Structure 1
């Protein structure tokens, strides 16, 4: 008879400010989550309870205070190396049937819950962590950018972002203007208004690593009544930029249990083809080719066609979806990573993407390329 120790600990992984550790306790598989922020722990516990009424979530067996923070013990769902997450369905060369089945199930659940719980809410009563708090005084926008300046792209375009408004930006053949300071002011002002927002009960941070396969939801500190356009912007930006490109590039330890991610980074990394300044016409030329792997294109396509568009048709039939998504996408671009900390090439692409979002001609259907064929080169 093989002796089984009563307690077995797996590797500890860091996700942002939290620690996760798989544990087998008396034969029961658990996932321990440690957070040093008491307020975040309380939100996690409340968010789990809210979400459990409408979505499949692992059971929360216990939570307790420990030195320096809180420890939460969850049911551990089946998984392993390159298994158990939506991320793993995206880390393939082609979009397989299991991904299509998964996305159909995901969007069906979201449609049902959003239609059942959606209402125009006071912004004071929605989850504020990812958008409102980051735009508020002392939030991430201030921490990253207040009273700070940096070059658009060191060695490529050696012009400070503070002077962007004095140039025309020619991005992939289209002429734009971007006033850096005015964009930051607009975002702060937008998320300081008391105008009601359409909100529904969601997890709030629907990323490749917060969605389990088979379908379940992880991570609950942003669960509750969330802005619906914010929920959409979060998934679309993560699926098309963060999950396959920026997170594995700048936070690789978070994906240590899913190493297949790194083999697919080139297929999801935009390519800069031109970066130049014409001082005679005060024009900055940026030509880049967006890249998105076939599985990620398929996921974005299904999400758009089976969730975003049906919800927009019912809730906002006469409103411009681009205007609804714009502030949330801009905040995703600016409020996750500090652009000044990125490589010149990555910063340049994100500034180009921000420019396109802020343009009056912004069209999310082409911006995210929800097509089964590769995004065409400009």
Structure 2
């Protein structure tokens, strides 16, 4: 009996959310198999890939296999390795390192977005926009209900201390300024915030540092399609400024086993936070901290992409107002605040207060350079 000279080699799985990624090497190709327990999400991913490949660089999809209990999508595996292959790895460059590669990458990334958005942007009814990250999560029975319905978030370490529902009465101070934050009212606001026509464009929809490959390519396609422009901006900006360098590595460390430099950079991206009660009113003070690479990426993104987009589609203060509900969903709709440490929870509630106020300022929220902010 003849034995084949070479069998495909399947590497150890990598975990991202509920999915598993299996590296596969054959005599002709390096592949990655994405095993997904949700057949619907797999169909959405395959459809998103078909659409996106017309507009953006993406790895080829070779097979879509449906098995009992899971679907498997087999893609070309892009070049990479430990601490290589993603935008994340460029962002993990030490502050005293060479940032020329990141500068070039941000120029290429923003130019690609500008080119596609110029051809595909249009005012779109809400039902024609991908809803997974925003509208679906805010809808009855969505993630906001699963996280928070019938629960009240504690604001201290004691059982008898104030809760999030008390903020509608007392408000809270954030860095010395008083804000009214109606916790229940905010969720009601978000339930209806994504039901109006919006400016949208063709995009991948979830442009995080682990979904953008280096060299430039887009990964992960179940939110690909016609996405709200404000949602796209909110996702990249908030992930770069808050989630990607700090909270995601702490709350989902298994996703970064091949990118261990991420953990070395967490201290540089961890905000300073303090809180205390004065006469029953919560006072939160924080100072955002970002590594030089994340600050560079955020500033270039706004300067090269957001500012021109705002001038064309969001005149005056309309971008600030358009961003508010999308940022609020990134704050409370990605992770359950009740499962966080008290410091993490209070920081995000402070950020929620900032974007829930009608005079919301992206410049203050992201501590942007003046030249990187859209002007009226």
8 Å CA contact 1:157–1:275 kept in 2: the answer is no
**Which ranges of structure 1 fall in alignment gaps of 5 or more residues?**
373-378
Partner Cα separation in structure 2 for residue 63 and residue 351 of structure 1: 41
Partner Cα separation in structure 2 for residue 264 and residue 217 of structure 1: 24
Partner Cα separation in structure 1 for residue 45 and residue 89 of structure 2: 25
Partner Cα separation in structure 2 for residue 285 and residue 44 of structure 1: 44
Where does residue 246 of structure 2 map in the other structure? Answer: 245
From 134, 150, 153, give the equivalent of 1:131: 134
Partner Cα separation in structure 1 for residue 286 and residue 161 of structure 2: 18
Partner Cα separation in structure 1 for residue 156 and residue 220 of structure 2: 35
Where does residue 42 of structure 1 map in the other structure? Answer: 43
Partner Cα separation in structure 1 for residue 159 and residue 270 of structure 2: 18
8 Å CA contact 1:127–1:222 kept in 2: the answer is yes
Where does residue 346 of structure 1 map in the other structure? Answer: 344
Summarize deviations over 1:216-242 as a string: whole Å, max 9, x none.
Answer: 000000000000000000000110111
Where does residue 94 of structure 2 map in the other structure? Answer: 93
Partner Cα separation in structure 2 for residue 284 and residue 249 of structure 1: 25
Residue 173, structure 1, aligned to residue 176, structure 2: yes
Q: Please report how far the alpha carbon of residue 155 of structure 1 lies from its aligned counterpart in structure 2 after TM superposition.
A: 5.3
Partner Cα separation in structure 2 for residue 231 and residue 156 of structure 1: 39
RMSD: 1.6
From 133, 143, 152, give the equivalent of 1:140: 143
Q: Please report how far the alpha carbon of residue 276 of structure 1 lies from its aligned counterpart in structure 2 after TM superposition.
A: 1.2
Deviates more, 1:14-23 or 1:314-323: 314-323
Residue 63, structure 1, aligned to residue 64, structure 2: yes
Partner Cα separation in structure 1 for residue 324 and residue 21 of structure 2: 33
**Which ranges of structure 2 fall in alignment gaps of 5 or more residues?**
371-376
Q: Please report how far the alpha carbon of residue 4 of structure 1 lies from its aligned counterpart in structure 2 after TM superposition.
A: 7.3
Summarize deviations over 1:52-77 as a string: whole Å, max 9, x none.
Answer: 00100000011111121111110001
TM-score normalised by structure 2 residue count: 0.94
Q: Please report how far the alpha carbon of residue 213 of structure 1 lies from its aligned counterpart in structure 2 after TM superposition.
A: 0.2
Summarize deviations over 1:185-212 as a string: whole Å, max 9, x none.
Answer: 1001212x2x211110000000000000
TM-score normalised by structure 1 residue count: 0.93
Residue 151, structure 1, aligned to residue 154, structure 2: yes
Distance 1:285 1:319, change over 3 A: closer
Q: Please report how far the alpha carbon of residue 149 of structure 1 lies from its aligned counterpart in structure 2 after TM superposition.
A: 1.0
Distance 1:19 1:111, change over 3 A: same
Where does residue 287 of structure 1 map in the other structure? Answer: 285
SS in 1 for 2:331: helix
Partner Cα separation in structure 2 for residue 187 and residue 367 of structure 1: 19
Distance 1:345 1:113, change over 3 A: same
Where does residue 200 of structure 1 map in the other structure? Answer: 201
Query: Aligned pairs, how many?
Result: 365
SS in 1 for 2:201: strand
Deviates more, 1:171-180 or 1:333-342: 171-180
SS in 1 for 2:141: coil
SS in 1 for 2:162: strand
Spell out the pairing of 1:113-132 with structure 2 (5 A cutoff). 113-132=116-135
Spell out the pairing of 1:303-314 with structure 2 (5 A cutoff). 303-314=301-312
Q: Please report how far the alpha carbon of residue 344 of structure 1 lies from its aligned counterpart in structure 2 after TM superposition.
A: 0.6
Residue 183, structure 1, aligned to residue 186, structure 2: yes
Where does residue 296 of structure 1 map in the other structure? Answer: 294
